[in-house]
Structure 1
């Protein structure tokens, strides 16, 4: 084989290596971009899902006390020992107002089964009192104000969305969370979780 043929082979081999290296880099870059896209989509999805809750936050919840709209206090520890649905709501929140009659009917239908419901109004006390005078609810409510917002965040409501609901079992453990309006399917499902 002549030197010239040998040089041509080496040049062709070097060109093949360069092409395969570029192709490999192209595929690696595409893979990284795809992974970044999936990661970004997951992060965006995760951002709007109720967040995990630490045991400390759950213990803090059970130590809370709120003023009741009609007077007196509402101690969360008094609800331990039976399943509890807690609904964070406000008078200025249309989906909150829409779901309250459903939650009230659910409470009436299940209180004999030891299922409890508590509303925590993240609102001005005067607005809550006025609202409840016009549209009374059977389940107990607490005037949570800004403390309610912080409490909701600690219980997984990272976006401070309203309405926001959580479900505790009879042992005081957090079982479920939902940002947004509850529907009958949610309530039926939650009832099954604690049955």
Structure 2
């Protein structure tokens, strides 16, 4: 190998090592999604009606958070069961729907279509910023949170009514 080839090889190794270092550093600086047993990240924002919302303000009561979109067929399929669950557990467990980035008018149509009651909080996540702290990669995804704020269950995909009831028990309903 010529000295010129050796220098090029060394430079390449140094550059690749630098990129690897940066990739590892960036990955370790990204917050990791919440895991069962950990305290749920506080979701703050506005509801579809313009009211202020903070998940932390619900401490002391179990919570079911469902991340959804109005164009998602499985989300639409689970909505009637979510509404029935919310009605059956009114005052016992707070149901929170987090819309992942849609316009207020679109969400308002969904609320009217499914007769979502006022005691179900529908939070607009206009920038879809709350998905990352929860590790949400699709929709629907649900989280049951105990009264002390800890995540006790995370479910990918639509929830059946039986899964909602089981999750409520785990959350301490």
Same fold (TM over 0.5): yes
**CA distances 1:157-192 after superposition (whole Å, capped 9, x unpaired):** 3xx110010011000001000110000221121122
Gaps of 5+ in 1: 1-50
- For 1:119, the equivalent position in structure 2 comes to 97
Q: Which protein shows a greater Rg? A: 1
Alignment partners' CA distance in 2, 1:54 and 1:75: 20
**CA distances 1:107-148 after superposition (whole Å, capped 9, x unpaired):** 110123x2111111112222112222333212111111333x
TM-score normalised by the chain length of structure 1? 0.63
Root mean square deviation of aligned Cα: 2.2
Aligned with residue 156 of structure 2, among 179, 182, 185: 179
Aligned with residue 127 of structure 2, among 142, 146, 154: 146
Gaps of 5+ in 2: 1-31
Alignment partners' CA distance in 2, 1:155 and 1:71: 23
User: Quick one: higher RCO (CA 8 Å, sep 6+), 1 or 2?
Assistant: 2
Bigger Cα displacement from structure 2, 70-79 vs 114-123: 70-79
Deviation at 1:98, TM superposition (A): 1.0
For these two proteins, the number of residue pairs brought into alignment is 137
Greater per-residue helix proportion: 1
- Change in 2 beyond 3 A, CA 1:110/1:54: closer
- For 2:4, the equivalent position in structure 1 comes to none
TM-score normalised by the chain length of structure 2? 0.71
- For 1:73, the equivalent position in structure 2 comes to 52
Matched, 1:137 2:116: yes
Alignment partners' CA distance in 2, 1:134 and 1:184: 20
- For 2:64, the equivalent position in structure 1 comes to 85
Alignment partners' CA distance in 1, 2:44 and 2:58: 11
Deviation at 1:73, TM superposition (A): 1.5
